[in-house]
Amino acid sequence: MDTRLVYFEDEAVPARRLAEAAGLDASVIKRHDFPDQELLLTLASPLDDALPRTLVLYRSLDRPNDKLVELLLLARHARRLGVTRLVLVAPYLAYMRQDIAFHAGEIVSQPLIGAFLGELYDAVITVDPHLHRISRLEEVMPGIQTRTLSGAPRLAALIKEKRRNPLLMGPDDESIQWVEVAAATTGFDHGVCHKVRHGDTRVDIALPDIDLRGREVVLMDDIASSGHTLARAAEALLAAGADSVDVAVTHALFAGDALEVIRRAGVNEVWSTDSIAHPSNAVAMAPTLGKALGEVLGEVPGEMKSEAQ
């Protein structure tokens, strides 16, 4: 067998969907957490039984710290056994937001985590990584194959099924990229708010100059983390006369009580892609990931190219 996909038990559903879309055999990696928090990983189908030339790991990097150790252990193990090509499919890529030092002394994690992954894996496929001050993932992971996909087209299709004539709204200037993609494919009106962040859970939102009275608004963003960005935007929209506010995000991080924070702000429905397993998942990324994975696997190492899709 030339290529095998492996995944962890907690992501069996999206990983198996991807394996099916890409036509790959898939097997699980079991994880045991020792009382002292060290990890023991066990491959249900040991690699040395039938060594694949290429190994694809599906691991979304929400709650990333332990997972970075998983990635290290698996990659080094596979290389030791003789696997020649390692592909990481990480629908959510962590540590991409700290791309500059906002305060003196802060360690800029984006290029460091990027280099760590780039040294371990030959290719990384991800969805809507938080790249705002650089434009391409390969700048963070030089020399390896990268594919940057987006959840926006699939979220746009879902919104079109669910709402007749919504106003698509981004909660901050950066979200224009997803809102514009969705507006272009659906023809819906769109706009973005302006956000000023004062801390992890303190943001101010200023609305654009659009008549919101009676509108069904869908807020679109890449990430919902603490939920405060979406909550403040929803409150402002409803106060300005919007009829309803729904939320569509690529990455459902929803840390702590984020979902409750969003609901308390008056949000109606919350939809997300399955880039991070969460009850709000309404869109599977497998077709998009499967196509990109097929292309990456089809490229000849040495003539590899990187491109955003």
Residues contributing to the site for ligand R5P (CB under 6 A): 171-172, 174-175, 203, 221-229
Q: How far is the CB of 253 from ligand R5P (least distance, A)?
A: 7
Q: Which residues of 241-276 are buried (b: 16+ CB within 10 A; e: fewer)?
A: ebebbbbbbbbbbbeeebbebbbebebeebbbbbbb
Query: Structure tokens of 185?
Result: 């494919």
Q: How far is the CB of 255 from ligand R5P (least distance, A)?
A: 7
Q: How far is the CB of 226 from ligand R5P (least distance, A)?
A: 3
Phi and psi based region of residue 113 (left: phi greater than 0; alpha: psi -120 to 50; beta: remaining):
alpha
Beta carbon nearer to ligand R5P, 24 or 219: 219
148 in Cβ contact with 137 (< 8 Å): yes
Rounded CA separation 193/112 (Å): 31
Give residues with Cβ within 8 angstroms of 209, minimum separation 6.
none
Q: How far is the CB of 195 from ligand R5P (least distance, A)?
A: 7
Q: How far is the CB of 128 from ligand R5P (least distance, A)?
A: 9
Q: How far is the CB of 289 from ligand R5P (least distance, A)?
A: 21
| Burial classification of residue 144, based on how many CB atoms lie within 10 Å of its CB (0-12 exposed, 13-18 middle, 19 or more buried) | buried
What is the 3-class SS of 249-276, one letter each residue? EEEECCCCCHHHHHHHCCCCCEEEECCC
Rounded CA separation 249/255 (Å): 14
Beta carbon nearer to ligand R5P, 252 or 293: 252
Beta carbon nearer to ligand R5P, 121 or 254: 254
| Burial classification of residue 216, based on how many CB atoms lie within 10 Å of its CB (0-12 exposed, 13-18 middle, 19 or more buried) | middle
Beta carbon nearer to ligand R5P, 138 or 172: 172
Beta carbon nearer to ligand R5P, 19 or 234: 234
Beta carbon nearer to ligand R5P, 120 or 259: 259
Pairing of strands 194-199, 202-206: antiparallel
Beta carbon nearer to ligand R5P, 18 or 137: 137
Q: How far is the CB of 291 from ligand R5P (least distance, A)?
A: 25
Beta carbon nearer to ligand R5P, 27 or 98: 98
Q: How far is the CB of 137 from ligand R5P (least distance, A)?
A: 16
What is the 3-class SS of 184-238, one letter each residue? HHHCCEEEECEEEEEECCEEEEECCCCCCCCCEEEEEEEEECCCHHHHHHHHHHH
